[in-house]
Structure 1
Amino acid sequence: MTVKRWIAIGIAALVLVISGAFQLAMTVASASFSDMIDLDGGDFRQEIMEVGSNGQIAVIDLNGMIMDTGADDGLFASGGYNHRTFLQKLETAMEDTMVDGIVINVDTPGGGVVESASIHERVVRAQEEYDTPVYISMGGMAASGGYYISAPADYIAAHPATMTGSLGVIMDSINFSELAEEWGISHEVIKSGDYKDMGSPTREMTDDEEAILQSMVDDMYEDFVKVIVDGRDMPESEVLELAQGQIFTGNQALENGLIDGLGDLEHTIEHMEEQLELDATVIHYTNSFGTGSIWGLMAEAVSGDNLTLSHLEELVTHSSAPRLMYLYQE
Structure 2
Amino acid sequence: MNTKRVVALIIAAVLLFFSIGINTIITIFKTDFFSSFGSVLETETLTYENVVESGDFTNRIAHLTVNGVIQDVGEPSIWETVDYNHQAFVEQLDAVLKDDTVKAVLLSVNTPGGGVIESEEIYQKLVEIKEEKQIPIYVSMGSMAASGGYYISAPASKIFAQRETITGSIGVIMQSINYGKLAEKVGVEFETIKSGEHKDMFGGVRPSTKEELAMLQEMIDESYEHFVDIIEAGRSMSEADVKKVADGRVLGGSQALSAGLVDEIGNEEAALNALRADFGLEDAEFFEYTMDTSGWGSLLGVKLGSMLRPSAESELLSKIISSTNSPRMMYLYGDY
Identity %: 39
Residue 28 of structure 1: aligned partner: none
Task: State whether residues 174 and 328 of structure 2, in contact with CA within 8 Å, keep that contact through their aligned partners in structure 1.
Answer: yes
Say yes or no: does 1:78 pair with 2:97: no
Residue 23 of structure 1: aligned partner: none
CA–CA distance in 2 between the matches of 1:46 and 1:67? 24
Stretch deviating more after TM superposition (44-53 or 305-314): 305-314
Report how far residue 40 of structure 1 moved. Answer: 7.8
- SS of 1:157's partner is strand
Say yes or no: does 1:171 pair with 2:174: yes
CA–CA distance in 2 between the matches of 1:198 and 1:299? 43
Structure 2 residue ranges without an equivalent (≥5):
1-11, 19-41
Larger radius of gyration: 2
CA–CA distance in 1 between the matches of 2:194 and 2:60? 57
Report how far residue 132 of structure 1 moved. Answer: 2.3
Report how far residue 296 of structure 1 moved. Answer: 8.7
- For 2:224, which of 218, 221, 225 is the aligned residue? 221
| 1:57-68 pair list within 5 angstroms | 57-68=61-72
- For 1:329, which of 315, 327, 334 is the aligned residue? 334
CA–CA distance in 1 between the matches of 2:117 and 2:312? 34
Task: State whether residues 198 and 209 of structure 1, in contact with CA within 8 Å, keep that contact through their aligned partners in structure 2.
Answer: yes
Say yes or no: does 1:306 pair with 2:314: yes
Question: Residue 113 of structure 2 aligns to which amino acid in structure 1?
Answer: G
Task: State whether residues 62 and 108 of structure 1, in contact with CA within 8 Å, keep that contact through their aligned partners in structure 2.
Answer: yes
Question: Residue 326 of structure 2 aligns to which amino acid in structure 1?
Answer: A
CA–CA distance in 2 between the matches of 1:232 and 1:250? 16
Stretch deviating more after TM superposition (223-232 or 182-191): 182-191
- SS of 2:244's partner is helix
Q: CA RMSD in A?
A: 2.5
Question: Residue 62 of structure 2 aligns to which amino acid in structure 1?
Answer: A
Say yes or no: does 1:287 pair with 2:291: yes
CA–CA distance in 2 between the matches of 1:215 and 1:247? 23
Query: Which digits, 9 at most, give the CA deviation of each residue in 1:220-264, with x for residues without a partner?
Result: 000000000010000100101110000001111111110111111
Question: Residue 59 of structure 1 aligns to which amino acid in structure 2?
Answer: H
Task: State whether residues 76 and 299 of structure 1, in contact with CA within 8 Å, keep that contact through their aligned partners in structure 2.
Answer: no
- SS of 1:242's partner is coil
CA–CA distance in 1 between the matches of 2:198 and 2:243? 31
Residue 27 of structure 2: aligned partner: none
Number of residue pairs matched by the alignment: 293
| 1:184-203 pair list within 5 angstroms | 184-203=187-206
Report how far residue 131 of structure 1 moved. Answer: 1.4
Stretch deviating more after TM superposition (281-290 or 258-267): 281-290
Report how far residue 75 of structure 1 moved. Answer: 2.5
- SS of 2:334's partner is coil
